Amino acid sequence: MPLLDSTYNPPLFFKSGHLSTIYSGLVRKVANLEQIRIRITLPDADFLDTDWSYASSPSKKLVIIIHGLEGSSKRAYMKGSAKVLTQSGYDVCAINLRGCSGTANKLFRSYHSGATEDLQAVIEHVLQLDEYQNIYLHGFSLGGNLLLKYLGEKRELPIEIKGAVAISVPCQLADSLHQLLQFKNALYAKRFKGNLLVKLKQKQQSFPDLISDTDIENIKTLKDFDDFYTSRAHGFTDAMDYYAKSSSLQFLENIDVPTLIINALNDSFLGSECYPIEIAKHHKNLFLEMPKYGGHVGFYGNNNFTYAERRTLEFLDNIA
């Protein structure tokens, strides 16, 4: 398919990628959304929490939404998407990845960019409800990488899965990590690392033999965290092995349902390898839109309705 032209042209203030990112992450609020929590027990006896929102009348359409690194169903971009979709006749299942719902998960492992087994568990739970004829996947940043990897892993997809939308996706994780370690992203990286270390210290209380004070003190960067914890807890050799095996870029060619990726060109988290231009040019199901503006999960829009939310709704309605 040809690359999609973007019509996104925000007000001057939001042409800045950093301001757009910060506004979306720290300033934007979304009210008047009911979320009903349902806990799902996973095959390894751990759990994750999902928050459900429903259309005003019974729906056969469900969107499963996945947050980004250290996000949750309570983040504005998650609630904004859920609100827009439920107002348009879709039910929504917002996933809180392991340890992200406000309650620590049970096991030493937690979540990561390639943990498609957890998405599979949620989909199986949904299918057992036998209520939805059409299921769509929608993810942001890490969650976008996760769903793209899931779709491209050459599994036999349930026939109910009709399409997907991924926003601000670090399709090549090492490339994105390289960007996050640069000075331009120092404040974001510091915030991510701080949140991750808080959770690691909580893990230490449950697994003192596996995490020492020295281990925590030695974590100076996000890569250090992935070298020590993410790789070790999830069966990878080191951070680079984790990035190589979990990046969705290598799986994109196998996707066989209509899928939209929206990656802003001024997203400071994404390097050139995170824009799969050549793959999209020759792919019948992959649609790539690269707005000039938007930042990372930003895409400011009028009336607290972001451009990414509008495009997601348009894309899913067109599939339907």
pLDDT digits over 258-313, tens only?
Answer: 999 999 999 999 999 999 999 999 999 999 999 999 999 999 999 999 999 999 99
Q: Does the pLDDT at position 17 exceed 80?
A: yes
How sure is the predictor about 3, in pLDDT bands with cuts at 50, 70 and 90?
confident
Q: What is the DSSP string of 112-161?
A: -TT-HHHHHHHHHHHHHHT--SEEEEEEETHHHHHHHHHHHS-----TTE
Rounded alpha-carbon distances, angstroms, from residue 299 to 269, 296, 307: 15, 8, 5
Q: Which amino acid is at 304?
A: N
How sure is the predictor about 180, in pLDDT bands with cuts at 50, 70 and 90?
very high
Tell me, what's the pLDDT at 87?
98
Give tens-digit pLDDT for 204-251. Answer: 999 999 999 999 999 999 999 999 999 999 999 999 999 999 999 999
Q: Does the pLDDT at position 118 exceed 60?
A: yes
Residue % of the chain over a pLDDT of 70: 99
Q: Does the pLDDT at position 1 exceed 60?
A: no
Give tens-digit pLDDT for 28-72. Answer: 999 999 999 999 999 999 999 999 999 999 999 999 999 999 999
Average pLDDT, the chain: 97
- Tokens read off for 99: 């340890």
CA angle 170, 174, 180 (to 5 degrees): 70
Global pTM value: 0.97
| Mean pLDDT of the region 251-262 | 97
| Mean pLDDT of the region 195-209 | 97
Residue % of the chain over a pLDDT of 90: 98
- Tokens read off for 13: 């203030």
Residue 265 dihedral angles phi and psi, to the nearest 5°? -70, -20
| Mean pLDDT of the region 72-87 | 98
Tell me, what's the pLDDT at 114?
98
| Mean pLDDT of the region 170-183 | 98
**37: Cα separation from own chain's centroid:** 19
CB proximity list for 291: less than 8 A, separation 6 or greater? 6, 8, 262, 264, 265, 299, 307
